[in-house]
Structure 1
Amino acid sequence: MTYRLTQIDELIRGQHHHLDAGDLCYFFGEYTARQRAAYSETNQLIMNLKKGNERRGLQDYRYKGAAINHVAQMITSTIGNISHYTFVPVPPSKCRTDEAYDDRMTAILRMAKIINSSLDFRELVLQNHSTIASHATTANRPTPDDIMANYTLDASLLAGIRGNIVIFDDVLTAGSHFKAMKQFLHQHLPEVNILGLFVARTAREADLTSLFDFGV
């Protein structure tokens, strides 16, 4: 399947209720919640990306690496003028010291930089404490303020940062992590432009009835 970037516009923004008209976000594909991998190529891609560390050594774990490489190719083959942006991955739900720590978003950007050395990425934002992954629960989901309160900035990585920051995550659902990242980064970097890039956005079945240009 050939993926293309699509902007979150006023027609679908309401499905991601933390987003507003001032948020510039793009996605490659649509992930359908409550469906299995066979439902769509995007569902399969996302589920492969989300394979946890408990599956290391099992036969299907190799699909995670293939998914990481595929998304890296999507980024480098689609985004023009990539040297104008610094990519910042949304930190995973688990801290680096947690045995369940999964750096898939950073791994994608690491591979993308191998493909195109002009890509700049930095793990500017870290979590203070591990949390429950958003896709693992539907109850008592944290607000952007709750999420932001658990963030720490790695100020050692600020030197030479580019004027446009791309917050990079796998799935856009409500948009709470994007908003937390955007607000947190703007506190420390008030002059930069910030936008979001997602491998997929969640398109709930219940919602189905109701070009990518980061201009510099």
Structure 2
Amino acid sequence: MVEKLTLLDATILPDHTRLTAADECYFWREYTSGRNYAFGPGNDLVSNLKKKPSRSSAAEMGYKRRAIAACSGFFRTAIHPDWLNTATFVPIPGSKAVGDPDFDDRMTEIFRGIRTHPPIDVRKMIVQVTSTAAAHESASGERPTVEDLIANYQIDPQTLNPAPTNIGIIDDVLTAGVHYRAVHTLLRAQFPTTRIVGFFVARRVFPPEHNEIDLGEIDLA
């Protein structure tokens, strides 16, 4: 069976509180919060993508590279060729800034791993200034807000030209949508009329018994 992207529609929009009905976002798999890598293919894929460079063995990083390649292969067939050939793909920065031992550019690697001729346009327009704790490592009242993220993001002016025809904001896991909203806000200010679409490897879902805590839950950096 050929897997396809799923549009985030009105039936699941309430799971991602910082998105609105005007947002056009697509995802591949579902990551179940509070469950470890063995829970299903979405958890396994995200677990491997999230492996931290400073804390992973060579074998573990091999799993990460295979997960990146799997994502490249999926998006290569799931996104229409017209979009791949005309859009500019902008990664959402991770929680670690460039130079941090755990800086991770996995979304750039995934989309630059999509083999097309000519190569697709991937631009790191948004740069994180300082490293922060991963959202899940902070208490609920201390997690970054959209405003916090915007204050810690910079636009790289060297990446703005030529102006994009379409923009694809790319990230691994969609949770509340705070990071997407911050990046979308900055890009919309730069390109008021450009179509902006979100593409995610997975979206977070909760199991029915989501108040239970599994100590095997992974790091959503």
For normalisation by structure 2, the TM-score amounts to 0.88
Q: Structure 1 pair 134/117, CA: closer, same or farther in 2 (3 Å)?
A: farther
Residues in 2 aligned to 1:71 and 1:60: alpha-carbon distance in whole angstroms: 17
- Alignment RMSD: 1.8
Residues in 1 aligned to 2:116 and 2:49: alpha-carbon distance in whole angstroms: 19
The residue aligned with 1:212 is: none
The residue aligned with 1:54 is: 54
The AA in structure 2 aligned to 1:4 is K
Residues in 2 aligned to 1:2 and 1:147: alpha-carbon distance in whole angstroms: 36
Residues in 1 aligned to 2:116 and 2:46: alpha-carbon distance in whole angstroms: 21
Q: For the Cα contact (< 8 Å) 2:112–2:120, is it kept in 1? A: no
Query: What percentage of aligned pairs have identical amino acids?
Result: 38
Shifted more, 142-151 versus 66-75: the winner is 142-151
Q: Structure 1 pair 96/166, CA: closer, same or farther in 2 (3 Å)?
A: same
1:128 aligns with 2:126: no
The residue aligned with 2:164 is: 162
The residue aligned with 1:28 is: 28
User: What's the secondary structure of 1:101's corresponding residue?
Assistant: coil
The aligned length equals 207
Counterparts of 1:15-164 in structure 2 under 5 Å? 15-80=15-80, 81=82, 82-112=84-114, 114-115=115-116, 117-139=118-140, 140-164=142-166
User: What's the secondary structure of 1:26's corresponding residue?
Assistant: strand
Residues in 2 aligned to 1:69 and 1:135: alpha-carbon distance in whole angstroms: 26
CA shift, 1:137, in A, is 3.6
User: What's the secondary structure of 2:180's corresponding residue?
Assistant: helix
Q: Structure 1 pair 185/198, CA: closer, same or farther in 2 (3 Å)?
A: same
Alpha-carbon displacement from aligned partner over 1:1-55 (angstroms, at most 9, x marks no partner): 8532001111000010111111111000110011011110110000000000124
1:14 aligns with 2:14: yes
Q: For the Cα contact (< 8 Å) 1:86–1:161, is it kept in 2? A: no
Q: For the Cα contact (< 8 Å) 1:15–1:207, is it kept in 2? A: no
For normalisation by structure 1, the TM-score amounts to 0.90
User: Which ranges of 4 or more aligned residues in structure 1 deviate by more than 4 Å?
Assistant: none
